[in-house]
Amino acid sequence: MEAGTSQKLLDRFDISTNDLSALKECGHMLGEATIERVVDQFYEWLPQQPEFSLFFNSKELLEHVKKQQKVYWVDFFKGVVDQRYIDYRVHIGEVHARRDLPGEIYFAGMLQFNLLFLAQIRGLGLAPERLLAATLAYIKLAIMDTFVVSDQIAQFSKMRIAESSKAMLAMSTPVTSIWEGVLLLPLVGIVDSQRTKDIMEKVLSRIAESRARVFVMDISGVVTVDTAVADHFIRITKATRLMGCESIISGISPSVAQTLVELGTNVGEVRTTATLAGALQLALAAIKSVDSGPSGAPPRERG
């Protein structure tokens, strides 16, 4: 999280300097030995959960995590919430996310810790007002901590989904050279503005690399074609023409053709065919025409 986040979170969760002082006082009264004992009690509960054997497959890993938990809770009761404190909670969230720890066991675990520590605070013998203040302070910071960790888990999951989608997008946009001078792009699925941008970049890049003279875009596998999608296709074909590459759109079904007419989409000089086979015939004919040149003239040089 960015700098300054710690104070924003303290304000958001209504955690005052008095709350932090109350936690610090509890930390002094409990002592590190009691805090570590609570962590040990938690790890007596954890092995009873079905997820335990999946995530703790070695004694060394278990001991390492217990040690980190003790550091976490000693830090909690110091009553100092700065950027370092927040960054450490963010790190814990990322570790949980990388290990695919289920949210259910994380929240259940935090509940167990809360019950154990609140019992210890009640046993300190504080006066009623001080006990109430300490309990509220603990609950506020524990909820804030839980939010920071769970939010990082969610952010990491979103990032992974985005990366996966990007990889899938790359795989679903295969601009292939099927003949010298001819590129083919079979589109499948949903076409949106983000995917169109990716298609445009890849197509123009491949045209520049291969010096292709004909580009065939087959849309028979596209789920829906509305005004926006149709306009995307037209923009792609216009861009290819600016690079000296003729475009052919294949896979125009009767329903798509009717949609284009009803929407008043201007297809301009774009050549269209009902089938991919028809588009490839046009593409090869165009290549032969360019290579042959005018009647009686020698073939044009390529490139």
Tell me, letter by letter, the H, E, C secondary structure of 204-250: HHHHHHHCCCEEEEEEEEECCCCHHHHHHHHHHHHHHHHCCCEEEEE
Q: What is the pLDDT of residues 101-142, one digit of tens each?
A: 888 889 999 999 999 999 999 999 999 999 999 999 999 999
pTM value?
0.60
Residue extents of the structural domains in the chain: 5-166, 176-292
Mapping DSSP to helix (H, G, I), strand (E, B) and coil, where does residue 78 land? coil
Q: What is the pLDDT of residues 3-32, one digit of tens each?
A: 568 999 999 999 999 999 999 999 999 999
Q: What is the CATH number of domain 5-166?
A: 1.10.490.10
Q: What is the pLDDT of residues 202-242, one digit of tens each?
A: 899 999 999 999 999 998 888 777 777 777 888 888 899 89
CA angle in degrees (0–180, nearest 5) for 135-138-142 = 140
Q: What is the CATH number of domain 176-292?
A: 3.30.750.24
